[in-house]
Amino acid sequence: MDVKKKILLFLLIGGVTVIQAQKKERFTPPDMTQKTHTFALPELQIDSTFITNLNAVIFEKEGCGVEKSRESKNFHVIFEMEDSTNYSICLSLWDIPAKKSIGFFECNDFFYWLGGEIPPDIILETKIPKKISYKDPIPAFYDPPFWTLIYHTQTGNIEFKGNDCDCY
């Protein structure tokens, strides 16, 4: 008798799932409209030596090896003080701007969004905030590239350390 109850229960559960699977409703895809976000951040005037040295490391094959024709155009640059003369830079390349940065500058059709413990004498002037608008990216798996750089404040040199970063 116990086996008959189990078989009956199994048939009942199986029958309900078959009935549920064959409802005649149309499938409606989820809403995929891209929302537009707007925020304001100041444009920063940055030391030209820092920009030159940073771009040299980013676009050289021995460094990060980023292609200038790349679709992603937003570098997130996060500074972390290691000692009084050296700063670690966590650099990543994203499709969207960094809302929580302190400001940005534009160079070579790329935007650089600065954050963290920024060394003195890099930011020369803060200009009036500009409105930045962007659309949500289409939901997809995106693993942005990360690089670790070291900035020496006394010499102004920036050196490539590796393709990893632990600041996120």
pLDDT tens for the chain, residues 1 to 168: 588 888 877 777 766 555 555 567 777 777 777 889 899 999 999 999 999 999 999 988 777 788 877 788 899 999 999 999 999 999 998 888 888 999 999 998 999 999 999 998 899 988 889 999 988 877 777 778 889 999 999 999 999 988 766 555
Amino acid identity, position 67: E
Look-up: residue for tokens 């094959």? 61
Q: Cα 30 to the chain's mean position, in Å?
A: 25
Neighbours of 87 (CB within 10 A): 21
Within a domain: residue 122?
yes
The pLDDT value given to residue 62: 74
The pLDDT value given to residue 61: 74
Within a domain: residue 17?
no
Within a domain: residue 46?
yes
How far is the first Cα of the chain from the last one, in angstroms, to the nearest whole number?
60
The pLDDT value given to residue 163: 79
Within a domain: residue 158?
yes
Within a domain: residue 143?
yes
Name the nearest CA neighbour of 120 among 46, 65, 17, 66.
46
Within a domain: residue 118?
yes
- Cβ atoms of 61 and 100 closer than 8 Å: no
* Overall domain count for the chain: 1
Q: Which domain holds residue 103?
A: 36-66+73-162
The pLDDT value given to residue 1: 59
3-state secondary structure (DSSP) of residue 126: strand
Within a domain: residue 141?
yes
From CA 163, how far away is CA 63, in angstroms rounded? 9
The pLDDT value given to residue 110: 93
Q: Under the phi-then-psi rule, with left for phi > 0, alpha for psi from -120 to 50, and beta for the rest, what region is 156?
A: left
Within a domain: residue 123?
yes
Whether this prediction's pTM lies above 0.85 is answered by no
